[in-house]
């Protein structure tokens, strides 16, 4: 088990290194970050501007060879120094840390809604196959799958904020502010969870051990919860976890529509302002989160199923 | 990506379906036919949109802006789907814009599939260092949520100029290439998996013994047998690409064209939706196309290869 954990950790670390490298070189081909750091106030002479340009270039280390920049960058990153935001002139890490709790709150609530609504819906649909409930579950999962999130968000705002006036349109403050964004964000997850738990449950119910369990006279409740649900859940977990990166991506859109002050919104702003250190750190954050999610999933699997450790 | 409306839900049903003739399966899987019909309607709309459009899609008519569809408001309404904030006919814009939306998605899927299939063949067949390097790059790319990666790439490569593309098409071409490159990993993994098992088969050994070159074995013998899942995955990813393009347009990273894509249309009119609900019709079009593409993909999967169900597309 230890060998497996070490190997898997090394793999994860390698991927994070890959992400950093990818984004580092992307930024460097993007143009000249130094020119963005120069303030173009009026009544400054050309020489003053050029002098500041060279100062910024030197400050950012852009006058050196790109490979040296890469090494220096790693040196700084190891100390947690990812540079200053061009726009706010505070460390990019600080900006991210300020916004991260908001995103986590939103994401966790969405995940809870997604599981709390999706699982019962999918299981109930599988147990009552072909019923109205089953059709409803299919309808919900199809809708959650095909709807453009930002449009849904706009429609929800129009219905619940503009017409009914029940909930605020955007921003943070009271508990009411989080309802619409969390619901919008959760819909994709509800759809995935409902669909997968439905087919996982159907699959499990068609197995021989379920027939055996029924044949030996177990109550239907025991058959469903002890036998079918347990075995069906593994494939559900796999698919749901694999769909998480996609859902992390939609965080950006949802946060922008609802002006939610999280890391996704920060990223959209940083892109508009060409605030590269912030964009960089944001991508790194999303990448690391994804890698961590998959890492935890694999470790859990290895704990449950000894065969995986020896692969 | 997985099945939306399952027809063959369990292994047992799939096994039964395996014995059916293609025609029988087609009939049992009626949702696939619905998907094909919707898709066909949109393709016709895209091909002949400029002729079918009742009005000039860019003609501004400020006296009739934000007018409801005529069938809602027979007195004041203008056009079948109403007009936007500048009085332009929504239906005409959607019809003409559908070509762009579908071309962007289609080309992106083709680029993703071609590059993915090529790299999948290469890594699966060759193995070794090439395999290691390319699959680690794939891991890296999957580690970043696709939308986040795209946002970063579009932001960083704002001033990037694609070679061989006229300047006025550069933005559009870039969007297509970026969307396409995002898709290669899925295809490569799919094909690689197939190739790994196919390359040990007797008929591949036989071809090699007869002196066929690596390239010939890959293209003539392995690819035709490995390509089916990629075709299914392509159909399933089509909808995803449309939605991603829409999301990017909403974030202000879309392509500016005279007649925009559906995604851009929704995002342009978001401030007016409170007073003019009919501006949501492009969203309905997006939902229908995404639905159709997925139904089509499910159908293809059931027809071509029932083993594939539940796999990631």
pLDDT in tens, B279-298: 888 888 889 999 898 888 88
Task: List chain B residues with CB under 8 Å of A8.
Answer: none
**Residue-wise pLDDT tens digits, A54-94:** 777 777 666 777 788 888 888 887 787 777 777 777 888 88
- Cβ-Cβ contacts under 8 Å between A and B: the total is 171
- The answer to whether residue A139 scores a pLDDT higher than 70 is yes
**Mean pLDDT comparison of A41-50, B12-21, B150-159, highest-scoring range:** B150-159
Average pLDDT on A179-201 reads: 85
- The answer to whether residue B26 scores a pLDDT higher than 70 is no
Question: pLDDT band at residue B313, thresholds of 50, 70 and 90?
Answer: very low
CB contact under 8 A, B287 and A26: no
- The answer to whether residue A187 scores a pLDDT higher than 50 is yes
Question: Out of A26, A245, A276, whose CB is closest to B145?
Answer: A245
Question: pLDDT band at residue B312, thresholds of 50, 70 and 90?
Answer: very low
CB contact under 8 A, A253 and B147: yes
| A74 C-beta neighbours (distance < 10 Å), count | 13
Average pLDDT on A260-283 reads: 84
Burial status of residue B170 (CB atoms within 10 A of its CB: 0-12, 13-18, 19 or more): middle
Question: Out of B3, B140, B157, whose CB is closest to A30?
Answer: B157
Select the residue from A148, A234, A282 to test the B interface by mutation, using most B Cβ atoms within 10 A.
A148
CB contact under 8 A, A290 and B246: no
Give ipTM to 2 decimals. 0.79
**Residue-wise pLDDT tens digits, B55-103:** 777 777 777 777 777 677 767 767 777 777 777 888 888 888 888 888 8
Average pLDDT on A5-12 reads: 85
Stronger pLDDT, B213 or B28, i.e. the higher one: B213
A172-178: Cβ within 8 A, 24+ apart: A172/A102, A172/A260, A172/A261, A177/A258, A178/A105, A178/A106, A178/A109
- The answer to whether residue A181 scores a pLDDT higher than 50 is yes
SS3 letters for chain B? CCCCCCCCCCHHHHHHHHHCCHHHHHHHCHHHHHHHHHHHHHHHHHHHHHHHCCCCCCCCCHHHCCCCCCCCCCCCCCCCCCECCCCCEHHHHHHHHHHHHHHHHHHHHHHHHHHHHHHHHHHHHHCHHHHHHHHHHHHHHHHCCHHHHHHHHHHHCCCCCCCCCCHHHHHHHHHHHHHHHHCHHHHHHHHHHHHHHHCCCHHHHHHHHCCCCHHHHHHHHHHHHHHHHHHHHHHHHHHHHHHHHHHHHHCCCCCCCCCCCHHHHHHHCHHHCCCCHHHHHHHHHHHHHHHHHHHHHHHHHHHHCHHHCCCCC
CB contact under 8 A, B151 and A146: no
**Residue-wise pLDDT tens digits, B105-118:** 999 999 999 999 99
């Amino acid at each position: 088990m230890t060998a497996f954990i070490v190997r898997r950790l090394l793999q994860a670390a390698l991927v994070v290194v890959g992400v950093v490298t990818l984004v580092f070189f992307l930024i460097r081909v993007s143009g000249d970050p130094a020119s963005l750091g120069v303030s173009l106030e009026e009544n400054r002479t050309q020489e003053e501007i050029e002098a500041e340009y060279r100062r910024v270039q030197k400050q950012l280390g852009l006058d050196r060879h790109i490979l040296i920049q890469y090494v220096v960058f790693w040196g700084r990153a190891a100390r947690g120094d990812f540079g200053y935001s061009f726009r706010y002139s505070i460390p990019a890490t600080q900006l991210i840390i300020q916004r991260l709790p908001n995103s986590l709150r939103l994401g966790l609530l969405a995940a809870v809604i997604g599981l709390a609504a999706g699982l019962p819906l999918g299981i109930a649909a599988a147990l009552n196959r072909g019923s109205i409930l089953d059709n409803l579950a299919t309808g919900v999962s199809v809708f959650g799958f095909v709807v453009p999130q930002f449009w849904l968000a706009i429609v929800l705002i129009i219905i619940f904020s503009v017409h009914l006036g029940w909930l605020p349109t955007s921003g943070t403050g009271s508990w009411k502010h989080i309802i619409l964004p969390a619901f919008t964000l959760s819909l994709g997850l509800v759809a995935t969870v409902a669909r997968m738990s439905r087919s996982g449950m159907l699959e499990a119910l068609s197995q021989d051990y379920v027939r055996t369990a029924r044949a030996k006279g177990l109550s239907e409740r025991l058959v469903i919860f002890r036998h079918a649900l347990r075995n069906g859940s593994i494939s559900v977990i796999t698919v749901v976890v694999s769909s998480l990166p996609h859902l992390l991506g939609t965080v950006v859109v949802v946060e922008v529509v609802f002006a939610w002050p999280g890391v996704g919104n920060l990223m959209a702003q940083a892109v508009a302002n060409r605030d590269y250190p912030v964009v960089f750190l944001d991508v790194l954050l999303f990448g690391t989160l994804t890698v961590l999610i998959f890492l935890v999933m694999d470790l859990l699997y290895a704990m449950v199923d000894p065969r995986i450790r020896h692969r | 990506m997985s099945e939306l409306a399952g027809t063959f839900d369990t292994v047992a049903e799939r096994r039964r379906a395996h014995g059916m003739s293609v025609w029988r399966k087609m009939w049992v899987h009626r949702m696939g036919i619905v998907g094909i019909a919707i898709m066909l309607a949109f393709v016709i709309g895209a091909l002949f949109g400029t002729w079918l459009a009742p009005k000039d899609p860019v003609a501004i008519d400020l006296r009739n802006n934000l007018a409801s569809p005529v069938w809602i408001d027979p007195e004041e309404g203008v056009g079948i789907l109403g007009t936007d904030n500048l009085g332009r006919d929504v239906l005409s814009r959607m019809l003409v814009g559908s070509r762009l939306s579908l071309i962007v998605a289609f080309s992106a899927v083709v680029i993703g599939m071609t590059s993915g299939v090529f790299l999948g063949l290469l890594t699966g067949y060759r193995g070794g260092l090439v395999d290691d390097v390319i699959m680690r790059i794939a891991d890296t790319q999957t580690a970043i949520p696709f939308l986040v990666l795209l946002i970063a790439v579009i932001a960083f490569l704002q001033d990037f100029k694609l070679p061989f593309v006229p300047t006025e098409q550069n933005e559009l071409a870039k969007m297509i290439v970026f969307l396409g490159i995002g898709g290669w990993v899925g295809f490569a993994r799919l094909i690689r998996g197939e190739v790994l098992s196919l390359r040990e088969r007797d008929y591949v050994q036989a071809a090699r013994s007869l002196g066929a070159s690596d390239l010939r074995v890959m293209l003539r013998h392995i690819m035709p047998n490995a390509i089916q899942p990629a075709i299914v995955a392509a159909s399933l990813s089509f909808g995803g690409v449309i939605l991603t393009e829409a999301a990017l347009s909403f974030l202000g990273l879309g392509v500016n064209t005279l007649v925009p894509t559906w995604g851009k249309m929704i995002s342009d009119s978001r401030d007016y939706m409170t007073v003019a609900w009919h501006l949501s019709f492009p969203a309905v079009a997006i939902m229908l196309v995404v639905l159709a593409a997925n139904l089509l993909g499910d159908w293809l999967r059931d027809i071509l290869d029932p083993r594939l169900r539940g796999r990631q597309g």
